[in-house]
Amino acid sequence: MVANYTASLDDIDVTAKSSRSSFNDGVLLLELSPPRKSSSASPDNRKSSQPVVTNAAEVIANQITHPKMFKPSSWSLQHGAPNSFIALEASIASNLEEIRKANITDISTLENLVETFFKAYAEYDSLRSLKMTKESHQESLSDAQRGLHDAKQEHKKLDGSVEKLQVNLAKVEKDLAALSSKKEKIIALLDKSQEKLSKNQEKITITEDEIYTIEANHTLSDDEVERLSKHEEAKRRLRRVAKKS
């Protein structure tokens, strides 16, 4: 809150009404009251009270008798303020500069009051910006926390899926190991069967050769016929064994 500041001058009455000033969306509304007319001084009185300067000597004497108390002061325009506020500040500074150039009276007190007012606004604007920064920071933090929560939930789901896949992989590897062992056993049995088949085929060939020799040389006797029957029976058995293998 900025207090009311009133500076009364000899011929200028400027009142900065901070109670009538307000901030509307960063735009300063400042009302300056016009100079008040003095009820005790009529036009005739003012005319008669004005000094009559007749020559340069009297001008110098008048200046010595009434020394000027003018002490100029200035302030820097606030950086980062709204454009409308900077324009208002520049306008006030320009008006005070014109008054200062007129060299009528000391306006340093008024300038100090105006400077205090603008510094108060700068502090207010800084605090407001800090509040907005905190709100933006809190919003960003909330967004990041929501993102982290969602990422954790997704990670939890993926972790469950990975565990299931690992269980299935272990089961498949176990089944694969069992099939590999079974495959090795089957290959061993197949090798043995192939070996037996080769031996039986060899016996069949030998027996067929014997039969052919017997039939080609002479007529078979009863004993030879019996032997032939036994060989043929043995050959049939070998073939059956070979088929089963």
- Residue entry with tokens 């690992």: 166
Pair 235, 207: CB distance under 8 Å: yes
222 pLDDT tier (thresholds 50, 70, 90): confident
pLDDT tens across 48-59, in order? 444 444 454 454
Instruction: Identify the weakest region by mean pLDDT among 14-23, 138-147, 191-200.
Output: 14-23
Pair 88, 77: CB distance under 8 Å: no
**165 HSE (CA, 13 A, CB side):** 6
How many residues are listed for the chain in this entry? 245
pLDDT tens across 152-168, in order? 888 888 888 888 888 99
